[in-house]
């Protein structure tokens, strides 16, 4: 599992450094799917970070800002530190570094963004809706990403993601698997 996390962090870092918006979006989607399947909040947070990076890098007023180069360097350094902590199996410091990266995204969006609504909060709702589309309940999806349930419900009502995404296993198959486990 650690090697997978290191791999994800490194892929996010490389895509961020290269301004690869498509790769960041794909990583974000892959991560939230894995997070939904395993109920892993760390994978969900990595998904939110990747999604937020993709959004930040798509905004010309941010990437053309005078202080963006310095901010990008600090974010890159934090990603590198997160990887180092993981390799040393220092999970507490790894999680702190992820929180630090999330905070940096919030700060960049607050100081350089054009909208009052926070990009990271929007990412929570967006990715929670994807988790919902993969079969998690509204509450599970909300808890996984930290999204506000009311905002999530509102977003799910206006999006079609849950119609396009199909859970890996349907309810009947899940029920059959559980019956096989509990009633043998």
Give residue-wise pLDDT tens across range 41-94: 999 999 999 999 999 999 998 888 888 999 999 999 999 999 999 999 999 999
Residues 68, 42: contact at Cβ < 8 Å?
Answer: no
What is the predicted pLDDT for the residue at 182? 47
Quote the CA–CA distance of 33 and 96 in Å, as a whole number: 23
Determine if the pTM surpasses 0.85: no
Quote the CA–CA distance of 179 and 171 in Å, as a whole number: 12
Residues 32, 47: contact at Cβ < 8 Å?
Answer: yes
Q: What is the mean pLDDT of each run of 10 residues along the chain (184 residues)?
A: 84 96 96 92 96 93 89 95 94 95 88 70 92 90 94 85 53 58 50
Quote the CA–CA distance of 5 and 71 in Å, as a whole number: 24
The residue ranges of every structural domain in the chain are 2-182
């Amino acid at each position: 599992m650690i090697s997978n996390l290191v791999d994800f962090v490194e892929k996010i870092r490389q895509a961020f450094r290269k301004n690869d918006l498509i790769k960041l979006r794909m990583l974000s989607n892959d991560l939230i799917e894995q997070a939904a399947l395993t109920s892993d909040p760390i994978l969900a947070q990595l998904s939110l970070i990747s999604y937020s990076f993709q959004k930040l890098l798509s905004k010309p007023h941010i990437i053309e800002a005078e202080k963006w180069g310095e901010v990008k360097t600090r974010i890159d350094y934090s990603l590198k530190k997160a990887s180092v902590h993981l390799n040393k199996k220092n999970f507490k410091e790894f999680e702190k570094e992820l929180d630090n990266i999330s905070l940096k995204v919030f700060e960049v969006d607050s100081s350089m963004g054009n909208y009052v609504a926070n990009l990271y909060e929007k990412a929570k709702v967006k990715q929670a809706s994807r988790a919902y589309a993969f079969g998690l309940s509204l509450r599970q999806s909300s808890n996984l990403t930290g999204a506000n349930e009311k905002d999530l419900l509102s977003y799910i009502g206006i999006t079609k993601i849950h119609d396009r995404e199909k859970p890996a296993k349907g309810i009947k198959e899940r029920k059959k698997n559980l019956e096989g486990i509990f009633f043998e």
